[in-house]
Structure 1
Amino acid sequence: MRQRLITGIVAGAGFIGLTIAGGWLYTTLLVLLAIIGFTEYARMNGVAWSHPSTLLGYAGVLLFVLPWSDWGIVIPSFLTIVWMLAFLLLALTVITKNKTTIDGAALMLLGALYVGYGFSAMGEARQIEEHGLMWTFLSFGCIWASDIGAYFTGRAIGKTKLWPSISPNKTIEGALGGVLLSLIVSAVFALTMPDFIDLPKALLIGLIAAVAGQFGDLIQSAYKRVRDIKDTGTLLPGHGGVLDRCDSWLIVFPLLVLTGLLPV
C-alpha cells in the first residue's frame, strides 16, 4: 500500500504538471503512453513487439497520436487510416501464408484504434483553442471523481455485486457513488465557472465520464480475465501498466470528442 501511494502521488503530480504545461511536453507524454500501452496490448495477446502485425499496429498508433498538423503535415482522414491499416493487416495474412491469422490481424487493428485514438482524443482536448486546459481538467476530474467515489462508496456500503464474473470487488452501490461524485465535480465546474460551461452540459459530461469510465475499467478487467493476467504491465509499481491506469481515459475522451461535448 505504501509503494502504491507513493507511486500514485509522484506519477499523478508529474502527469498534472505536464498537462498544465501542455504543448510538446504533454504531447510527448501522450505519445510515450500510447507506445507503451500498445506494447502491453501486444504482449497481452502473445505477440512480440517486432512481429510485422505489431509493427503495423505501432504505425497506426503513431498516425493517430502524433501532432502532424503542428508540423504542417497533412495525413489521411480517420476512416482512411483505419481502412488502410485493416487492408495491410489482412494483406499480411496472405503474405505470411496465414502465419498471421485473420484473428491476429483483427486484434492488432482493434488495439491500434483503442490505444491510438484514445490518446489522440486526449491530445485533441488539450489543444482546444479556448479553455483547452479546463476542458481537459473537467474530463479528467470527472473520471477521477468516479473512481474515487466508486472505491470509497463500495468499501463503505457496497453489498450488491455489479459484475462478479468480471470484477468481483465492484458493487452497484460503489458504481452509483462514483456517478454521484462525478456529477458533483462537474456541477462545481459549472457553478464556479459559468462563462466556461453551463450546468446541463457539465452534468452530461459528468454522467458520461462516470458511466463510460466504469465501462472502460470493466472492459480492461474482462480482457485481463480472458488472458488470465493480473496487470497489463509493471510500469507503475503497485498500479500495474499503462492500460491498467488509463482504461477509463481511453473510452471517455473519444466518446466526449465524438459526441461533440468537447469542442475540438
Structure 2
Amino acid sequence: MRQRIITGLLAALLFLTMLAAGSKWYALMIIALAVLGYQEFVRLNGMRAREPASLVGFAGILYLVVPWGVLFGWPVPPQQTVVWLLMFLFFALTVVSQNRTSIDKIALLFIGVVYIGVGFHYMIFTRWMTDGLFWTLLLFGCIWLTDVGAYFAGRLLGKRLLWPSISPKKTVEGAVGGVLISIATAVVFSLLRPELLTLLEAVAIGIVVSVLGQLGDLIQSAYKRVRNIKDSGTILPGHGGILDRTDSWIIVFPFVHLLGLLPQ
C-alpha cells in the first residue's frame, strides 16, 4: 500500500505539472502515454512490438494522437480516411505475409488503435479548446474522485456486488457513491466558473463521466480476465500499467464530445 500511495502521488504531481505547464507539454506527455499504452496492448495480446503489424498499429496511434496541424502546421487527411488506410494496410499484411500475419491478429491490433488512439486524441483535443485547462481538469476531477468515492462508499456501505464475474470487489453502493461524488465535483467547478458551466450541465457531466468512467474500468477488467492477467503492465509500481490507470480516460474523453457535453 505504501508503494502504491507514493507512486500515485508522484505520478499525480508530474501529470498536473505537465497539464499546467501548457498545451504542448501536456500533449507530449499524452503522446508518450498513448504509445506506452499501445505497447502494453500489443504485449498482452501475445505479440511483439517490432513485428510489421504492430508497427502499422504504432503509426496509426501517432497519427490519431499527435496534433500535427497545431504542433507543426502540417496538413493531414481526415481521420476516417486514415482509419480506412490503416485497415487496408493491416489486410495487405495478411496477403504479403501469406497469412503468417493472421486476420485475428490484425483485427485485435486495429481495435487497439481505435480504442487507444481516439481516446488519447480527445485528451489532447480537450486541453487545446478555449478554456481547455478548465474542461480538462473538470473531466479528470470527476474521473479521479469517482474512484475515491466508489472506494470509500464500497468499503463503508457495499453489500451488493456490481459485476462479480468481471470485478469481484466492486459494489452497487460503491458505484452509486462514485456517481454522487462526481456530481458534487462538477457542481464545484460550476460554482467556480458559472459563465462556463451551469448547474444543470454540471450535474449531467458528473453523471455521464462517472458512469462511463466506471464502465471503462470494467471494460479493461473484462479484457484482462479474458487474457488471465492481473495488470496490463508494470511501469507504475503498485498500480500496474498505463492502461490500468487510463482505462476510464480512454472512454470518457471521446464520449463527452460525442454527446456534445463540452463546447464545440
Q: Name the TM-score, length of structure 1 as normaliser.
A: 0.98
Matched, 1:134 2:171: no
Residue 88 of structure 1 corresponds to which residue in structure 2? Answer: 89
Opposite residue 69 of structure 1, the aligned amino acid is G
1:1-264 equivalence runs, <5 A: 1-70=1-70, 71-128=72-129, 130-264=130-264
Work out the CA distance in 2 between the residues paired with 1:263 and 1:120. Answer: 17
Q: Which runs of 5+ in 2 are unaligned?
A: none
Amino acid at match of 1:82: V
Superimposed CA distance per residue, residues 47-87 of structure 1 (whole angstroms, 9 cap, x where no aligned partner): 10011111010000000111201211111111111111111
CA distance in 1, matches of 2:121, 2:22: 14
Name the aligned partner's letter for residue 75 of structure 2.
V
Distance 1:87 1:248 in 2: 29
Shift of 1:188: 1.2
Question: Which whole-Å deviations, capped at 9, do the CAs of 1:162-185 have from their partners, x for residues lacking one?
Answer: 000000000000000000100111
SS, match of residue 168 in structure 2: strand
Mapped to 1, the partners of 2:57 and 2:258 lie a distance apart of: 22
Distance in 1, Cα, partners of 2:111 & 2:65: 15
What is the CA-CA distance between 1:192 and the residue it aligns to? 2.5
How far off is 1:260 after superposition?
Answer: 2.1
Percent identity of equivalent pairs = 52
Misfit runs of 4+, over 2 Å: none
Provide structure 1 residue ranges, at least 5 long, that are not aligned to the other structure: none
- Residue 211 of structure 1 and its aligned partner are, at CA, apart by 0.4
Q: Counterpart of 1:234 in 2: which secondary structure?
A: coil
Cα deviation, 1:66-113, whole Å, max 9, x if unaligned, reads: 120121111111111111111110111111111111111111111011
- One-letter amino acid of the counterpart of residue 259, structure 1: L
Give the alignment's Cα RMSD to 1 decimal.
Answer: 0.9
For residue 107 of structure 1, what is the amino acid of its counterpart?
L
Letter in 1 for 2:175: A
TM-score of the superposed pair, with normalisation by structure 2 = 0.98
